[in-house]
Structure 1
Amino acid sequence: MRKPFRIAVVGAGPRGTSFLDRLANALAADTVSDAGTDTTEIAPLEIVIFEPFEPGPGHVWRTDQSRNFLMNTPAVYPTASPDYSFDQWRQEHAAERPDIAALGRGSYPPRALYGEYLSEVAHRACEKLRAHPRVQSLTHRRAEVTSMRASGELYVLEYRDASSAEPQPNNATLADAVVLSVGHVPAKLNPRQQVAGEQAAQLGLMYIPPNVPPDVDWDAIPAGETVLVRGLGLNFFDAVTELTTGRGGRFVAPNAAVEDDDAARPERGPLRYVPSGLEPRVWAASRRGAPYRAKAAVDAFVPPSVSLRFVTEESIRAIADAGVPGEPAGKLSFGAHVWPLVHRDVLRTYYRVLAEQRPELFGGSEGAASFVVRLEELLGAQRVHGQKVWLTSVRRHVEQCAPGAGWLDVPRLGHPFGEWGFESDDEYQAAVIAYLDEDAESAERGEADPLKMAIGAMHAARMLVKKLVAEGVFDDVTYQDDILRSFEPLVEGLASGPPVQRIRELAALARAGVVHFIGPEPTFTLDEERGIFSAESPWVDVAPVESKVMLEAMMPANRVAKTDSTLLRQLQDDDLAQPRPMLTEDGEFAPGAGFHVTERPHRLIGRYGDVHEGVFVLGLQLASVQWGTAIAAEAGGDPDGNARTLGDASAAAEAILEQAK
């Protein structure tokens, strides 16, 4: 028998768990194909999992976190295994658990519950691996890998036991193959955050930097204290929930009596907040000036009624195959060639649904049908280029045939209060509350709402763009400038928001005076002389808001060049890894967000172009070659598309088994 082949899995959160699941599957398939082979010619496998937390949930999805932290996808969507989705797990356990039975396909479960599912996927995978005749051992070490170095064809991994609070010397082990699936890791603060933290510490202020929400000590924020919050994205909703209902507050129907402890909150419609008295006063702001929009209340990640006519894989590949002057062969500019197609489908979806739901705006049913036919003609007759020309013709068609319908200014959706000043704080608060109420009503209408379905079309286009990014269809410049800096902020704010219940709750908190909004394009400062944080907006005529507490409502930056992970830093310092060089518009190279890797199965490339044949990267550190690496795989999805994380895990597993032969 050959000497054992050791596989080190560094990080066993969702991505590492998917690898273990796909490794078990690939081994089972390999056993069938190797039937009759002399077993002495096949190397036995030793598998070592390095995960400081429980395999499956890992750090971010750990099962002991607050149940106030919700997933950002409906229960029907995510999976860590193509054979066993979260929704299947939900249905299996519904009879024995009331909290699971209360969930539907379209529910947004607590993240801790998804962690339980991940734990079961990891357990099943490990049991299958242990039972396989080729697996000599499988060990989980509650340890953090601190360094990895090449030693001939092997890799030396040093690790530190995570179960002890006392400092320890590093232990070491050898591995033939390494899977880097470390997920979210600490990041260095940017200069602005670094200075704020240092000055706050000197002045006795409280500064909470970007963090994974379960890692924040929410109890440390005093009741009644004003808290400045920078960011109105998903971490903001986690923070607000933990500081309100997490402290005993509750939401009830608007007409429920305050003293009625049994008052139930309605499933839909406005809410009223009954405070506990332990809440701080939250003042929040972001560049957009408004929170992310709610997801439509549908039992799917992309609304089932949404279809794309213009931005399709076939249409984009046809443009690439035809060749684009000034672009490398097979490469496209997102802004010039793909966004006009996305824009068409968004407008087409909006006005089709509007005509179905509000035919009176188009002069009745016949007028609505005629309007849609002509709209399709105008959108379909225009070339990809000349976007402003076809936009003008479509807008003219809307204004002439349905002036009451109004024009959907798609880019403006990302800045609902753009270029509009407010003369008082009361005026701005009222505007944001009205915006939240309208957004919640829009979301609750589901597939009957034109705007939510238009956003659904943009979201569907995003999923296609994700696939094309991973396949290298776009050049570096357009990926960084058009997609990451322009399209991503737009589609994130519109399509990546919370479930509608969080928007209803936020509106109630704003009406109760627990949450206030500062305004768009805010400026946050720290007055060292007075020892105080302050924030203000140029679009709201009110004195700056002052506080001794400031919270950055965002995750640590996912950039390997800015990592504070001991392991990822060491890999770069020792030239075993580097950020992927990304070509800029000036013809120079700048470090990308993720590691430099080969095409799938994504082997690590060192600083001098040397490929580490036995080191495979999965998940967030692929951000230079994949877009949206934090999004889970879609149950039943294409492993080359919406379930790419599973395809990546399968490719790594198959490559490692081939290497072991």
Structure 2
Amino acid sequence: MSTSTQNPKNEFNLAIVGAGPRGTSTVERLAHLANNLERTANRINITVFDPYRPGSGHVWSPKQSEHFLMNTPASFPTVAPERTSDEPGLSFRQFVALHGDGRRLSEEHARMLSQVEAGTYPSRALYGEYLEHVYDSSVALLAAHESFSVEHLAAEVIGVRPLGNGYQLDYRTAQGEGEAAQKTFDAVVLALGHQSAELNPWQKQLQEAAQQADATYLPPNVPADLDYSLFAESQPALIRGLGLNFFDGMAELTLGRGGLFRETGKEPGHRLEYIASGREPELVVASRRGTPYWGKPVVEQFIPEEISLRYFDVPELIGQLAEARATNPAATLVFSRHIWPKLHRDILFAYYSTWAESCGAPEGFSAEEFIEQLDELLTAEHREGSQVWLGELRKFIAQIPECEWLDVPKLAKPFDEVGFGSDAEYQQAVRDYLVDNARHSVGGLKDPLSCAIMTMNAGRMLIKELVVTGVIDEQSRIEEIQAHFEPLVEGLSSGPPLERIEQLLALSRAGLVSFIGPEPEFGFDEVSQMFTASSPWVDSEVYTARTMCEAMMPSNRVLQNDTQLIRQLLKDHVARAHTWRNEEGESLPGSGFDVVGEPYRLVNNEGLAHRGIFVLGVQLSSAQWGTAIAAQAGNMKNPAAQTLHDAANVVNEVARLAGLQGKEALSAAQD
């Protein structure tokens, strides 16, 4: 067993726990460091722990169903900066352009790769091939360098404990039984990704009731881990959740059972019809808002270059904050006062300016005159946080008969407080909503609503940056951004590709998908031994089924995670959950680990940061708003490239701790 105390001073042992996208980004940045170093007297020994194949890890296996799609276009995701010369990594779009960059692909994956274009949504299996290629290429470069060594242990880490100047890792191999093995390291990177979690009390009740009645309850899970054979043919199944997990399941239970979506050649919203195989279950589905996430606009980029922000000016906000802190060092930004009024202006400007340019200016105006008047109303001087401008703009729009008011907050709940007298009425209302979605999304950059939504998403990227820098009031972040703005922007910007909306419409018309209604109520009837579901806003019979599925990921709260490692970290006080105080002074638990600085160092129960334990990804949810599965390809300084920035920060600090200083240790973040 190698330990820090046994190694010579010039040996530095690094453990990377988790080899999915974030662990792979770390390995790639280490390879980039090695690529810029001559042989040195110092040596870094890297051990990667993951029971699954490194690169793709647990979630991104190339062996999973081809029906599971990413929800970002192929031009967006990457786990490495774009290759410019002999760097080990490359972006996914470069991987596509280079036809796999020399990686041996199956015939099916080679065919799929050849069909990927900038605006298409590739399968997660295909992205897994890319992840494995980046990992393998990076490991090959590290292995060839005399100052680095790297090995992968197919093992689950079940404990991390400080030991002297280093850290002891307890781990159990995939085949291992009995006592755990131990190794000691100088630094540890926790890149854990999604972890299993305890069910909430209501979910536990449903699970226990199902077990007693021999019914089937499927708790939150990664889509690829779900046992779809438990959905009986031609039988109803209740599904809670209409996000991305739902669409994966929908595809697997239809296409995966021999069904076929056939092109009709008709207009958007009617482009597909479903030819059933007869093996499908009947899906009875619901979400709190009563509708699925809005399908994405048909554009090639995640946020097209044509989308810009003219009122939400981050440098201006930071400058104003600096002035405020000159007299009040504790000053922060409040979302509802400093951010939303500006972003709201941008969203409305995008909507109405696109409307004037694409649909024709209203009577009495040229397009230029209308947009100029719009800008004057949006830039009118009012006191900070004032919403007077909104009333003035509403009056202006009301004077134009052919122009409707865009109620942005209402977009989050399209059926809010709307009652439906029958089930048939509600089914048609949802179909009309989805058809409307299809028509707007097809319009892309020429559609006013699509441009408004993409503008909101551009604002979200900047808000994420403000959260990372710590300038937003924490109570505002949790109670305004995460509780209210996040559901709005997620429901509109994080939805599936338009293809999924067309498929859902076809299944609804075929009678294989039924919608329950907003604010659904689920339960279990002990007499009939059935799950039940209904909506207080739809006057129809209660739906029943012997199968119920939670179409969502496990909860991302460290206090709710039930993995042996996270429990050990908290129990042994190696880590603690982040806490925050509300206006009443109450201390409330956050969702992620307590961390400090960049790179993010884990904080122990006494409030002290570990010198050598770094956290990446999902468990940073208290320090970052949203933890993306990938970075945006292109400029590494872009806020949407945060995951690359985090990995580079970790590697720079590892290089410093390992004694790689001065000119010989080129910054791993330089590109």
- Shorter-chain TM-score: which interval? over 0.9
Conserved in 2, the CA contact under 8 Å of 1:293 and 1:439?
A: yes
- Structure 1 distance, partners of 2:63, 2:123, is 11
Asked if 1:486 is matched to 2:484, the reply is: yes
Conserved in 2, the CA contact under 8 Å of 1:398 and 1:406?
A: yes
Structure 2 matches for 1:159-238, cutoff 5 A?
A: 159-162=171-174, 164=175, 167-238=177-248
- Structure 1 distance, partners of 2:160, 2:462, is 36
Deviation at 1:631, TM superposition (A): 3.7
Asked if 1:150 is matched to 2:162, the reply is: yes
- Structure 1 distance, partners of 2:120, 2:301, is 10
Aligned length: 638
Structure 2 matches for 1:415-454, cutoff 5 A?
A: 415-454=413-452
**Scaled by the length of structure 1, what TM-score is found?**
0.93
- Structure 2 distance, partners of 1:51, 1:382, is 56
**Which residue number in structure 1 is paired with residue 667 of structure 2?**
none
Which deviations, in whole Å up to 9, do the C-alpha atoms of 1:529-571 show, x marking residues without a partner?
3311111111111011111111101001111111111101100
**Which residue number in structure 2 is paired with residue 129 of structure 1?**
142
**Which residue number in structure 2 is paired with residue 113 of structure 1?**
126
Conserved in 2, the CA contact under 8 Å of 1:324 and 1:332?
A: no
**Which residue number in structure 2 is paired with residue 590 of structure 1?**
588
- Structure 2 distance, partners of 1:324, 1:289, is 44
- Structure 1 distance, partners of 2:267, 2:125, is 24
**Which residue number in structure 2 is paired with residue 312 of structure 1?**
313
**Which residue number in structure 2 is paired with residue 357 of structure 1?**
358
Structure 2: gaps of 5 or more residues: 1-7, 84-89, 660-671
The secondary structure found in structure 2 opposite 1:293 is coil
Deviation at 1:316, TM superposition (A): 2.0
Which deviations, in whole Å up to 9, do the C-alpha atoms of 1:558-600 show, x marking residues without a partner?
1111111110110000000011122223222212111111110
Conserved in 2, the CA contact under 8 Å of 1:252 and 1:266?
A: no
Which deviations, in whole Å up to 9, do the C-alpha atoms of 1:117-140 show, x marking residues without a partner?
0000001111111111111x3111
**Which residue number in structure 1 is paired with residue 252 of structure 2?**
242
**Which residue number in structure 2 is paired with residue 410 of structure 1?**
408
Conserved in 2, the CA contact under 8 Å of 1:303 and 1:453?
A: no
- Structure 1 distance, partners of 2:634, 2:152, is 29
**Which residue number in structure 1 is paired with residue 636 of structure 2?**
638
| 2:11 counterpart letter in structure 1 | P
Conserved in 1, the CA contact under 8 Å of 2:15 and 2:48?
A: yes
Which deviations, in whole Å up to 9, do the C-alpha atoms of 1:31-89 show, x marking residues without a partner?
25xx8xxx5xx332211110111111101111111000000110010110113100000
The secondary structure found in structure 1 opposite 2:349 is helix
Conserved in 1, the CA contact under 8 Å of 2:234 and 2:281?
A: yes
The secondary structure found in structure 1 opposite 2:251 is helix
Asked if 1:8 is matched to 2:7, the reply is: no
**Which residue number in structure 2 is paired with residue 23 of structure 1?**
30
Asked if 1:337 is matched to 2:342, the reply is: no
| 1:636 counterpart letter in structure 2 | G
- Structure 1 distance, partners of 2:570, 2:442, is 48
Conserved in 1, the CA contact under 8 Å of 2:311 and 2:346?
A: yes
Conserved in 2, the CA contact under 8 Å of 1:341 and 1:384?
A: no
Deviation at 1:168, TM superposition (A): 3.4
Over 3 Å counting, the alpha-carbon distance change for 1:578 and 1:394 in structure 2 is same
Over 3 Å counting, the alpha-carbon distance change for 1:639 and 1:620 in structure 2 is farther
Moved more, 414-423 or 454-463: 414-423
| 2:291 counterpart letter in structure 1 | A
Which deviations, in whole Å up to 9, do the C-alpha atoms of 1:594-625 show, x marking residues without a partner?
11111101111101012110111111111101
The secondary structure found in structure 2 opposite 1:301 is coil
Moved more, 589-598 or 565-574: 589-598
**Which residue number in structure 1 is paired with residue 368 of structure 2?**
369
**Which residue number in structure 2 is paired with residue 63 of structure 1?**
62
- Structure 1 distance, partners of 2:384, 2:509, is 47
Asked if 1:303 is matched to 2:290, the reply is: no
Conserved in 1, the CA contact under 8 Å of 2:268 and 2:439?
A: no
Which deviations, in whole Å up to 9, do the C-alpha atoms of 1:176-201 show, x marking residues without a partner?
11110010111111111111111111
Structure 2 matches for 1:596-607, cutoff 5 A?
A: 596-607=594-605
Structure 2 matches for 1:38-57, cutoff 5 A?
A: 39=40, 42-57=41-56
**Which residue number in structure 1 is paired with residue 152 of structure 2?**
140
Conserved in 2, the CA contact under 8 Å of 1:582 and 1:591?
A: yes
- Structure 1 distance, partners of 2:316, 2:515, is 43
- Structure 1 distance, partners of 2:269, 2:94, is 27
The secondary structure found in structure 2 opposite 1:562 is coil
Over 3 Å counting, the alpha-carbon distance change for 1:542 and 1:387 in structure 2 is farther
Asked if 1:277 is matched to 2:278, the reply is: yes
Identical positions, percent: 45
**Which residue number in structure 2 is paired with residue 91 of structure 1?**
97
- Structure 2 distance, partners of 1:242, 1:387, is 49
**Which residue number in structure 2 is paired with residue 100 of structure 1?**
113
- Structure 2 distance, partners of 1:288, 1:328, is 41
Structure 2 matches for 1:521-536, cutoff 5 A?
A: 521-536=519-534
Which deviations, in whole Å up to 9, do the C-alpha atoms of 1:378-436 show, x marking residues without a partner?
10114364544211100101111x22111000000011111111111111101111111
**Which residue number in structure 2 is paired with residue 575 of structure 1?**
573
**Which residue number in structure 1 is paired with residue 668 of structure 2?**
none
- Structure 1 distance, partners of 2:77, 2:543, is 40
Deviation at 1:326, TM superposition (A): 12
- Structure 1 distance, partners of 2:328, 2:497, is 40
| 2:280 counterpart letter in structure 1 | E
Over 3 Å counting, the alpha-carbon distance change for 1:306 and 1:285 in structure 2 is same
Conserved in 2, the CA contact under 8 Å of 1:2 and 1:44?
A: no
- Structure 1 distance, partners of 2:199, 2:383, is 41
| 1:518 counterpart letter in structure 2 | I
Conserved in 2, the CA contact under 8 Å of 1:226 and 1:281?
A: yes
Over 3 Å counting, the alpha-carbon distance change for 1:3 and 1:375 in structure 2 is closer
Over 3 Å counting, the alpha-carbon distance change for 1:241 and 1:380 in structure 2 is same
Conserved in 1, the CA contact under 8 Å of 2:575 and 2:602?
A: yes
Structure 1: gaps of 5 or more residues: 256-264
Over 3 Å counting, the alpha-carbon distance change for 1:325 and 1:535 in structure 2 is farther
CA RMSD of aligned residues (A): 1.9
Conserved in 1, the CA contact under 8 Å of 2:354 and 2:447?
A: yes
